[in-house]
Amino acid sequence: MPANSLNTLANQQARQADFATLFQQATVVPNALLQRYNLTGPRYTSYPTAPIWNEAFSAPQLATILGQSKTQDANTQPYSVYVHLPFCENRCLFCGCNVVITQQKQHAEKYLIYLEKELALMAEKLDLSRPVTQFHYGGGTPTYLTPEQLDQITTLFFNTFNLALDAEIAVEVDPRVTTVEHLQTLAKLGFNRISLGVQDFNPQTQEAINRIQPFEQTQALVEQARSLGFKGVNIDLIYGLPFQTPETFKHTIEQVLQLKPDRLALYNYAYIPWMAPWQKQMPESALPSGEMKYAIFCQSTQQFLQAGYQYIGMDHFALPADELSVAWETETLNRNFMGYTTRSGQAELVGFGISAISSWNGHYSQNLKKLPAYYEALDAEMLPTWRGYELSVDDLIRQTVIQSLMCQNTVSYAGIAQALQENAKFRLLQSDETLASFDFTRYFADELKALAPLAEDGLLTFTSEGFELTPLGRIFSRNVAMVFDAHLAKPSADVSPDVPASPQFSRTL
Ligand SMILES: C[S@@+](CC[C@H](N)C(=O)[O-])C[C@H]1O[C@@H](n2cnc3c(N)ncnc32)[C@H](O)[C@@H]1O
Ligand code: SF4
């Protein structure tokens, strides 16, 4: 259930129209304002964000939590399963994902044996009768595996879990290495969503990022996927890469629009050379400036809106009939490590493979990031946990507000209080006084004061029941969410380079 009930469907549709109007204007944002809000900040695929999770949270603790979750009668949450398949043949120089670059396919053979071990260990601890409503292969490049390997590992997962009949079953693919045989195997297994990495079709940019990917190759793959029955096609693009200008990227978007993807991710290039040193191999002087990046974002957004796409939030767009648009309109959208999702709201996220993240009722945990450590833990029959976090009541409150801001773009004081009471029941925290009698304006008196300048800058408006982001505020949603982040000032030295969506931290624009 959404955390607030301020908006009706009509209201949400009106807000999409307002957003489109903003982007029809020639100068969308004054430069001074742009500079004020172009800060580094989290992308809020979790709250608290990964850099503050700690290694004191270990495998035995995770096993205990899983045991409690399994035996808790009230807990009938479905599972959302994520499997990390990290291999790629060559490195794209911009890449910030946790990948293993190798052309020696026997490495993948070994990895699959260990994934099977992890699955067996987890299967003992999970309630396997619960439905899996979302299954996702991410990477790396899942289609680095042969069709036979994909068939074998997927069958193992599907035979272990209770896959819901209408489950969303998604895979990330690199069109340069994905064959018709891969697609046929995935379609036969039941995959219904496919996400293609594109980034940019401009030859000069492709050369600079070490990723030569002709338009025709991508087009052929999209057509094959559709003819094989994939219902949803997503395309990933990045703005901020070398040699990009609004003009060059305009042409890329025109080509992308010919493919009519159902969803589009337009990622802001996370330039994090201290974690991804290979990024330094690209000429720094060729990177577009902050202002240029924003111009590219505006130009692309205009093109998407004109082509009939809806703005979902941050970096996501979708056609009106796509589930993501429907979820935005009906305020059932969620956000997790996979970005904006429609199915994860009530689900526990179970991650497998190196660096995979799980999200249990009130806890986060993340697997070890490197293959040797991951293998060693599993050889010792241990869960390969690297670090984790147990949410405090304050974290839970702030998480609810930030989720509402990032997904619904509104905060209703009464809606947050109601969501917290429901959550308290679920987490057996009914006796917690703060949650039972939650008073938003009292609890967040300082934050509400801190929002005033953002309201003056036109990012949000206050209503009698709460506040909501303006069209401009939707672009700067991270900046507004940062006001409610109690951990922002004190990140640990431990950084999180592995999840592409959450380097520490990319710029908000
Ligand atoms: C796992 S890859 C997609 C599948 C496949 N490996 C491919 O590249 O086609 C996930 C996506 O993360 C995004 N990504 C990777 N590194 C990034 C970075 N440094 N900044 C922004 N986005 C990034 C890219 O858009 C990429 O398509
Ligand atoms: S962008 Fe995709 S193909 Fe390129 S290195 Fe990263 S994960 Fe591999």
If asked whether residues 193 and 241 sit together in one domain, one would say yes
Phi and psi for 226 in degrees, rounded to 5?
-65, -45
Q: What integer is the mean pLDDT of 125-130?
A: 92
* Residue showing tokens 């036979």: 148
Q: Which ligand 1 atom sits closest to the C-alpha of 88? A: 6
Domain boundary pick from 358, 383, 406: 358
Instruction: Decide: 471 in ligand 2 pocket, CB within 6 A.
Output: no
Q: Could you tell me if residue 416 is inside a domain?
A: yes
CA distance 286 to 282: 8
Q: Could you tell me if residue 377 is inside a domain?
A: no
If asked whether residues 279 and 347 sit together in one domain, one would say yes
Rounded to the nearest angstrom, the distance between the alpha carbon of 138 and the centre of ligand 2 is 11
- pLDDT over 80 at 284, yes or no: yes
Q: Which ligand 2 atom sits closest to the C-alpha of 95? A: 6
Q: What integer is the mean pLDDT of 481-487?
A: 96
If asked whether residues 190 and 241 sit together in one domain, one would say yes
Which residue's C-alpha comes closest to atom 21 of ligand 1? 269
If asked whether residues 166 and 235 sit together in one domain, one would say yes
If asked whether residues 36 and 109 sit together in one domain, one would say no
Counting every residue written for the chain, the total comes to: 509
* pTM greater than 0.95: no
Q: Could you tell me if residue 375 is inside a domain?
A: no
CA angle 368, 373, 378 (to 5 degrees): 90
User: Which listed ligand is nearest to 174 at the C-alpha?
Assistant: 1
Residue 500 is predicted with a pLDDT of 37
How many domains is the chain partitioned into structurally? 2
Helices of type H across 338-429: 371-379, 393-403, 413-426
Ligand 1 pocket residues where CB is under 6 Å: 88, 94-97, 138-141, 172, 174, 197, 199, 236, 238, 267, 269-270, 500
- pLDDT over 70 at 6, yes or no: no
If asked whether residues 417 and 320 sit together in one domain, one would say no
If asked whether residues 434 and 455 sit together in one domain, one would say yes
If asked whether residues 72 and 36 sit together in one domain, one would say no
- C-alpha distance from residue 232 to each of 171, 312, 322, 325 (Å): 11, 16, 8, 13
CA dihedral of 193, 196, 199, 201, whole degrees rounded to 10 = -120
Instruction: Decide: 97 in ligand 2 pocket, CB within 6 A.
Output: yes
Q: Could you tell me if residue 489 is inside a domain?
A: no
If asked whether residues 207 and 326 sit together in one domain, one would say yes
CATH number (domain holding residue 25):
1.10.10.920
CA distance 74 to 374: 33
- pLDDT over 60 at 495, yes or no: no
If asked whether residues 259 and 320 sit together in one domain, one would say yes
Instruction: Decide: 141 in ligand 2 pocket, CB within 6 A.
Output: yes
Instruction: Decide: 99 in ligand 2 pocket, CB within 6 A.
Output: yes
Q: Write out pLDDT tens, residues 377-422.
A: 999 999 999 999 999 999 999 999 999 999 999 999 999 999 888 8
CATH number (domain holding residue 328):
3.80.30.20
Q: Write out pLDDT tens, residues 286-330.
A: 999 888 998 899 899 999 999 999 999 989 999 999 999 999 988
Question: How confident is the prediction for the chain on average, in pLDDT?
Answer: 89
What is the residue range of 407's domain? 9-44+393-482
For residue 405, how many C-alpha atoms fall within 13 Å in the half-sphere facing its CB? 30
Secondary structure E strands in 200-256: 232-239
Rounded to the nearest angstrom, the distance between the alpha carbon of 330 and the centre of ligand 1 is 29
Q: Write out pLDDT tens, residues 37-69.
A: 877 788 899 999 998 999 999 898 888 888 877
Rounded to the nearest angstrom, the distance between the alpha carbon of 92 and the centre of ligand 1 is 9
Q: Could you tell me if residue 125 is inside a domain?
A: yes
If asked whether residues 162 and 301 sit together in one domain, one would say yes
Q: Write out pLDDT tens, residues 144-186.
A: 999 999 999 999 999 999 999 999 999 999 999 999 999 999 9
Q: Which ligand 1 atom sits closest to the C-alpha of 139? A: 1
If asked whether residues 227 and 97 sit together in one domain, one would say yes
User: Which listed ligand is nearest to 101 at the C-alpha?
Assistant: 2
